[in-house]
């Protein structure tokens, strides 16, 4: 089973972002990924979803979208979520290949947030290597 992932979909559905321009849409088109992927280092399987996941390939669009939403809803239940309480001078590293993440609202009048992102090039998601 494969899922379409789309930055445009993510931005337009439930975030306070400006819609992507046509140029941006061409630069980051939707991409198909397996619903379940194999971590290349550990060999463990994990569900590969999140806000960018739009619909299941090959299913009726609305049904595929509903299935993605249902799975995402199960993944983010409170008993499955680690919620970090930041302290000054902390940093966090996570593996995007197997961890869903999202920022939390914070008081911009009283708190300062500095975010630096480091991206390491890697493989595309796969379930079975061919």
| Res 65: pLDDT | 92
- Span 58-70, pLDDT tens digits: 999 999 999 999 9
Q: For the chain, give the longest Cα–Cα distance.
A: 52
Domain boundaries, the chain: 1-130
In which residue ranges of the chain is pLDDT below 50? none
| Res 89: pLDDT | 86
Question: What gap in Å lies between CA 111 and CA 88, rounded to an integer?
Answer: 10
Residue spans of beta strands (DSSP E) within 6-121: 31-34, 36-38, 45-47, 53-56
Q: Dihedral (C-alpha) 59, 6, 105, 101: value to the nearest 10 degrees?
A: 80
Helix/strand/coil for 69: helix
Cβ(35)–Cβ(126) under 8 Å? no
Give the fold, CATH level 3, of 1-130: Double-stranded beta-helix (3.60.130)
């Amino acid at each position: 089973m494969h899922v379409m992932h789309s930055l445009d979909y993510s931005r337009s559905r439930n975030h306070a972002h400006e819609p992507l321009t046509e140029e941006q849409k061409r630069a980051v088109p939707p991409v198909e990924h397996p619903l379940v992927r194999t971590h290349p280092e550990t060999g463990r399987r994990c569900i590969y979803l999140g806000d960018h996941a739009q619909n299941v390939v090959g299913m009726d669009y609305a049904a595929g979208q509903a299935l993605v939403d249902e799975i995402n809803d199960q993944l983010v239940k409170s008993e499955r979520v680690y919620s970090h309480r930041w302290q000054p001078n902390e940093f966090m590293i996570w593996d995007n290949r197997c961890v869903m993440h999202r920022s939390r609202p914070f008081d911009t009048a009283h708190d300062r947030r500095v975010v630096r992102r480091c991206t390491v090039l890697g493989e595309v998601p796969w379930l079975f290597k061919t």
